[in-house]
A and B are shown apart, each in its own frame.
Chain A
Amino acid sequence: MSTQAAIELKNICKRFGPVVANNNVCLTANRGEILSILGENGSGKTTLMNMISGIYFPDEGQIFINGEEAVIASPKDAFDYKIGMIHQHFKLVDVFTATENIVLGLDEGKYNLKEAEKKVQEICDLYGFELDPKKKIYTMSVSEKQTVEIVKVLYRGADILILDEPTAVLTPIEIRKLFAVLKKMREDGKVIIIITHKLNEVMEISDRVSVLRKGEYIGTVNTSETSESELTEMMVGKKIDLNIERTQSENVTPRLEVHHINCSNREGLKVLDDVSFVANAGEILGIAGIAGSGQRELLESIAGLQKLDSGAVLYRNPKTGKMDNLATKTPLQIRELGVRLSFVPEDRLGMGLVGNMDIVDNMMLRSYTKGKGLFLERKAPRDLAEHIIDDLEVVTPDANTPVRRLSGGNVQKVLVGREIAASPTVLMAAYPVRGLDINSSYMIYNLLNQQKERGVAVIFVGEDLDVLLALCDRILVIGSGRITGLVDARTATKEEIGLLMTKTEAMAQSDDEGGEQNG
């Protein structure tokens, strides 16, 4: 193997406003090897790769390709350097055939689909892809779509391939096929960079692993000389003491019992698989997991927004002491019982608040049924809005400012404030501190702690393991829609949770395979 690196990054930095996505990242990848980029959510893996493929431009640092400095300012430049990226979200036109998608945007003389189809077939035969060049995208499975994406970059002559979480959407058998193809490409002398957070896959496929954590480059190790626990430690880092006070509350009694719930998404894939747990009053239950492992669906199931395939959500009513099955109730009835969901989705305003409405009107979204007769009751929501603005120090000109114009942190305060104001008995908060500065985050943590002291069962879905460990009483770990562990936050370590988040997916997979062989 030649010693010259096919691609080398030196001191790459990228900032988005005040957020540092990549800081001084150095990386090399050689011909004929598979390099894994490992890191948690938000560690800057995708940002880094987007800079190689020309979607973002680095603020600082240099990129060398075959030893020469390269300026990659657009996806087209990346093509010219024979770099191809396979995005997590496929960029394909649904009503086109595979071949039409592959030749889209190319300019290679006469337009001849037949010739192109032949060439596509040749590429498929060379690497062992199974793909019908004439098949329309909308009739394809996810794995076929991914194949189209890979063939697309190969058709363009790419010899540096970047795959962003390629296995996230695949079944175990499809993953094995993909890995076989990747190994063939490695033999062919191509450079393959795969972004992933699954340790078992890293161990299986890659030659070397580079680890990122919170935008920082941690190091690169040879896969053969490392272990999963070493990688986990590199990935999650040492425990940081956050000084979030954790109170011990009395009267910890079960409030919500989730029994074996199953649920599927629109494509029929299982998103929750036999999930059971108990949420106690006077306790914060943390939920940890890689993004998209079923956290959203789990909370929505409890709030009545998600149709369950089977299972029950039992709610112990603190007033009457009776048990109610929430699965048979409407979202409105569930809310009346005091089960409150404050979900902060990625776009912040997606669920819960209406961006173009002011704070008062957003309060009314929860109380519009309360007015007498034909007219809305406006006084109470106005008082509530002003109360929240004062108490939570929401920075806004007045209560009549559209929520959209507030900064992210203030939007979240309004959302959480409104749900807390209804004196809930169960409070679910998903990513409530996403994108917030330290002070706002602590304010939210204090609010959650106050609720816990009041005897509310708090369910907190978080990303930062340090926060989860400091704030919660117990932590439920979820992976691929299954509960992979339940730990006591007072004694658990980050490594332990990190392993549960990632490693257990392999166990879940081997379970699957066992099931398939039996069936």
Chain B
Amino acid sequence: MISAFIRTAIPLGVPLLYGSTGEIITEKSGHLNLGIPGIMYVGSIGGVIGAFLYENACGNVLENMNPFLTIFIPLICSLLGSILMGLIYSFLTVTLRANQNVTGLALTTFGIGIGNFFGGSLSKLVNSDMPNIILTKTSSLYRTSLPFADKLGWFGEIFLSHDFLTYFSVIVALVAAFVLNRTRVGLNLRAVGENPATADAAGINVTRYKYISTCIGSAIAGLGGLQYVMAYANGVWSNNAFGDRGWMAIALVIFALWKPNMAILGSFLFGALCNVNNYLTGLGTATQELFKMLPYVVTLVVLIITSMRKKREHQPPQSLGLPYFREER
């Protein structure tokens, strides 16, 4: 029962981990991207469109589908979608210096709109009554787990039974932590987010760092959407099913104190907290809703504790949310 709880909690945490890792990388460049929920949504629908087109091209027969292309096409479509969203965000906030909060919120609304529009139109194409698209064949490949998953008891269940995007999410977070803290690029990026004028004076191309980190962050966040629909939801897309995972990912950034390796811990903890109400039997609807609040309560508590301790290393990047304009000295 405990191993089943953990096994089901982990997939719940994976989209959050992608989302928060992406947001951390973006925020380290001084940009608060509130468009993450929309970007994850676009990453999700991008994968769905890719998979839908490929499955149709193969006549919806699993035997005709090349396993590599089945994975690769949705992945590329998802990345293209989320990177495009990142580019829109960077163009508006870096080049045009638009307000980051407004841009981000607009992008979230926009992304969800795009997702629902394509979700609706694809389901019209297959003459479905419900706005659902079912891509079980692609999903079955995405959900391939490691060998021996069902032979090694609880160990296999907890550690080996997941899809490759789950393992990849942890790798991405670890790599992000390494790059941020142990490389020259990471040092420069952190300087851009802390004090862009200083970075500029040190000869760092501030605009380039901001663009690249926002786009890479968006790409990573978009993978969260892809993992959600292809692995967690078994390839079933329905409009608005992604829920508020994007916002939770943003809350997790604060929880993780802007550290990707803390985000690993945090997202699986959040996953577990989200999973609690499924495993406690005999709860009324009202109590269930109360349990669903847990991740947010934890975020609030962490926020209060960290702001009380006032340690400088635990604060957001100093120039977070502020546009940088060289001539404004």
Contact = CB atoms under 8 A, between A and B. Distances in A.
A499 to B, nearest CB: 32
A95 B184 CA distance: 16
A91 B329 CA distance: 12
Contacts of B126: none
A94 B194 contact: yes
B201 A75 contact: yes
The interface centre, meaning the residue of B199, B203, B313 with most chain A CB atoms within 10 A of its CB, is B203
B312 A104 contact: no
B99 interface: no
B312 A91 contact: no
Interface residues of A, number: 18
A100 B202 CA distance: 12
B208 to A, nearest CB: 13
A91 B194 contact: no
A129 interface: no
Nearest to A111: B184
A105 B195 CA distance: 13
Given A94-B312, A111-B182, A111-B183, A105 B194 contact: no
B300 interface: no
Contacts of B29: none
B325 to A, nearest CB: 14
Given A93-B190, A95-B312, A104 B198 contact: yes
B195 A93 contact: yes
Contacts of A79: 203
Given A94-B312, A136-B312, A107 B184 contact: yes
Contact of A91 (B182, B187, B188, B201): B201
Contact of B204 (A94, A95, A105, A136): A105
Main secondary structure of the interface of B (DSSP, over half): helix
B318 A94 contact: yes
B184 A91 contact: no
Nearest to B201: A91
A492 B201 CA distance: 44
B320 to A, nearest CB: 12
A92 B198 contact: yes
The interface centre, meaning the residue of A76, A91, A93 with most chain B CB atoms within 10 A of its CB, is A93
B191 A91 contact: no
Interface in B184-219: 184, 187-188, 190-191, 194-195, 197-199, 201-204
Nearest to A137: B312
Nearest to A105: B202
Contacts of A104: 187-188, 191, 198-199, 202, 204
A86 to B, nearest CB: 12
Contacts of A136: 312
Contacts of A93: 190-191, 194-195, 198-199
Interface in B151-203: 182-184, 187-188, 190-191, 194-195, 197-199, 201-203
B194 A75 contact: no
Contacts of A76: 203
Contacts of A106: 184, 202
A103 interface: yes
Interface in A177-222: none
A207 B194 CA distance: 40
A450 to B, nearest CB: 37
Contacts of B198: 91-93, 104
A96 B318 CA distance: 12
The interface centre, meaning the residue of A76, A79, A103, A105 with most chain B CB atoms within 10 A of its CB, is A105
Given A75-B201, A105-B204, A91 B195 contact: yes
A104 B194 CA distance: 12
The 4 closest A-B pairs by CB, nearest first: A105-B202, A111-B184, A91-B198, A105-B203
27 contacts: A75-B203, A76-B203, A91-B198, A92-B195, A93-B190, A93-B191, A93-B194, A93-B198, A93-B199, A94-B194, A95-B190, A95-B194, A95-B315, A96-B191, A103-B184, A103-B187, A104-B198, A104-B199, A104-B202, A104-B204, A105-B188, A105-B204, A106-B184, A106-B202, A111-B182, A111-B183, A138-B312
